[in-house]
Amino acid sequence: MNKGIAQFIDLDTGEVIDGNQVYNYQTVENRQKQIDYLKQKTESKRKFKESRKYTKEYGNFIWNIYNINQQNFTGAKASDITRLMFLSTYLNYDGYLMFDNGKPVTKKNMNSLLKLSKSSYKYFCSRQSKENILEVKDDKMRVNPNVFEKGCLPKSRVAGWIQQNKYITRLYVNGVRNIYNKSSISSHKTLSYLFQILPFVNRQYNIVCFNPLEENLDNIKCMSLGDFCDTINYSKNNVRQLKNMLFNPKFEFNNKTTSAIRLVCDDSNSLHDEIFINPCIYYAGDKWEEVKVLGGF
């Protein structure tokens, strides 16, 4: 081989290329590189294929950017959180809200989606403008891209968020809309707990826990219903009311009746029940089947 010419290995074929010469032998080190590469390539193809499958099942999604281990929208009114999550499902690729028929969402017509009273709607718009989450631009409603995004995200941008202790999850359009449209205006505050708890939801198994980045199921420190109450500042004395308002409501998804949250019960003490979030509402990982089995969805 010519020492002055760079040598490299074609990881797909295993051939060693030295200048214009191709050799069919490999060193042990190069062989291991090829094995590792092909394993990674096969796994990536499998994950992509599975992702496509669940994209068809769960439908389109929006990216929600959030701070890990910190409640979402800490300065927002609770009911507004539910309304913002719902509105985000109308986000287009340019960062504006748009109706399904392609018509832009404006400040004048946005309430046709939210269905609030005039005073509540006016107050909602004022607060979101002050919080820099929604803004009117060219008579259209623009969404803060540091909170919601749609489309392919550059790896460099995702890496930048992680450095800031921020992560992304898929917020599924059909699931969020179904549960919002099934709820009453008065229940938006309670429904917001489903989204407020998101930073404490394990990214792979969708179980509410204290270590949301843990990938080993055996090492997950589950958050009980009592812990859940503490986290969202909800009185444990009213835990039965919380269960009735948040866990019992059902909605239709893919011709199946389901719920947004499921409890895996400890009959001896309801405060120790484990909590799973339905992945048709939001999910960050790639273990869909395990989540569905574990949570009983």
Q: Which of 43, 58, 73 is the last residue of a domain?
A: 58
* Distance from C-alpha of 119 to C-alpha of 213, rounded to nearest angstrom: 41
User: Residue 122 above 70 pLDDT?
Assistant: yes
Residues 110 and 236 in one domain: yes
Q: How many residues does the chain have?
A: 297
* Distance from C-alpha of 98 to C-alpha of 94, rounded to nearest angstrom: 10
Residues 115 and 202 in one domain: yes
Q: What is the pLDDT of residues 28-43, one digit of tens each?
A: 676 677 677 777 777 6
3-state DSSP assignment of residue 244: helix
Residues 95 and 172 in one domain: yes
Query: 291 is in which domain, residue-wise?
Result: 59-295
Residues 65 and 202 in one domain: yes
Domain count, the chain: 2
**Higher local confidence (pLDDT), 254 or 2:** 254
CA distances (Å), origin 247, targets 9, 88, 166, 242, 261: 55, 23, 28, 8, 6
- What phi and psi values does residue 242 have, to the nearest 5 degrees? -60, -45
Residues 78 and 157 in one domain: yes
Cα 82 to chain centroid, rounded = 15
Residues 45 and 156 in one domain: no
Q: Which of 58, 74, 102 is the last residue of a domain?
A: 58
Q: What is the pLDDT of residues 180-221, one digit of tens each?
A: 998 999 999 989 999 989 999 999 999 999 999 999 999 999
Token digits for 208?
């509410």
Query: By CB neighbour count within 10 A (0-12 exposed, 13-18 middle, 19+ buried), where does 161 fall?
Result: middle
Q: How confident is the model at residue 1 (pLDDT cuts 50, 70, 90)?
A: very low
* Distance from C-alpha of 192 to C-alpha of 86, rounded to nearest angstrom: 11
Model's pTM, two decimal places? 0.80
Q: What is the pLDDT of residue 15?
A: 58
Q: What is the pLDDT of residue 297?
A: 74
